[in-house]
Amino acid sequence: MTIPALALHGGCGAPAPEALGVADWEALHRDLAAALHAGHAVLRRGGPALDAVEAAVVVLEDSPHFNAGHGAALCEDGRHELDASIMNGADLAAGAVCTVRRTRNPVRLARAVMERSGCVLLAGDAADAFAQRIGLDSVPNRHFTTPRRVQALAQLKALAQRGGIGRASEAERHGTVGAAALDAEGHLAAATSTGGYNNKPVGRVGDSPIIGAGTYARDGVCAISCTGMGEVFVRHVVAHELAARMRHGGATLEAASRALMEEELAGEDVGMGWVALDASGQVVAPFNTLGMARGWVDAEGRGWIGVHREMSCLGRL
């Protein structure tokens, strides 16, 4: 039997330490820990990696502190369009949705697309209609809105009018959530969910719902969920590139991850990060920004979470 493993992230667009008050930071850490507990509970009772990543991401989607589901970024028209994907490393089955506006948990819908639609990707109104048809929770678009996102949209519009959009912080621009898991049977899975970036054009789709760009899992190799400027991840097919460097090039997870971020993608000059784990449960969580909300469970069953460079131990989960 394999020792199960889980890693998750809440996006590389982390606020500066001084940007949030103590209560907000405590709440963010609680939700990050709750997501880790939810995913690891599935693995601890012998459940599949696919269930674990879905459970972890649902908690992050329901939290107002991350850019996915409730708390997602706003498009330039003041509405939300949400993207998500999920992939099963055992058989390469995958499902994804993009530009959905009414489905409470896009990651649940992505899994339903994988298992019940005969498709890999459904978009917009058709995806929301499918969600309603199969009984997933639908909510008004305003359900996803938080005061912080309204403020961020106003700030970015003001910066754009002054020609200073390039000075916007990673936290103002974008964020994503995701998870990767290895279960006791040795199967891998990954899932990603996002609201995109603040003030994005209506209809824009990034890497999160694109299999091989923002999400990828293959048994015996790795599972990965990415965060950052999606256009870069799509052009470089980053998630699959990591797996290919391992599968065909013989690189370790750590070496493949380092080469991607520090060499191939270094010239892009954008914020990025990911969580990934290999078939032995080894975890990497690199990022090149001020911070990336993240967490994982180590080989001794201890949970770890952090946002900036330091990590905190939650003890045995």
Q: Which residues are catalytic?
A: 176
Residue 161: partners with Cβ closer than 8 Å, 6 or more residues away: none
Residue 96: partners with Cβ closer than 8 Å, 6 or more residues away: 83, 84, 85, 86, 110, 113, 120, 121, 122, 209, 210, 211, 215
Residue 47: partners with Cβ closer than 8 Å, 6 or more residues away: 183
Residue 66: partners with Cβ closer than 8 Å, 6 or more residues away: 10, 11, 28, 31, 60, 175, 177, 293
Mapped onto helix, strand or coil, the DSSP state of residue 40 is helix
Q: Token match 């028209």: residue?
A: 77
DSSP state of 253: H
CA dihedral of 25, 31, 37, 39, whole degrees rounded to 10:
-130
Which amino acid, 246?
Answer: M
- CA–CA distance, 191 with 223 (Å, rounded to integer): 9
Residue 150: partners with Cβ closer than 8 Å, 6 or more residues away: 74
Please provide the DSSP assignment of 153-193 as one string. HHHHHHHHHTT-GGG--HHHHB--EEEEEE-TTS-EEEEEE
Cβ-contact 97, 110 below 8 angstroms: yes
Phi, psi of 119 (to 5 degrees): -115, 170
Element (H, E) at 316: strand 312-316
Residue 166: partners with Cβ closer than 8 Å, 6 or more residues away: none
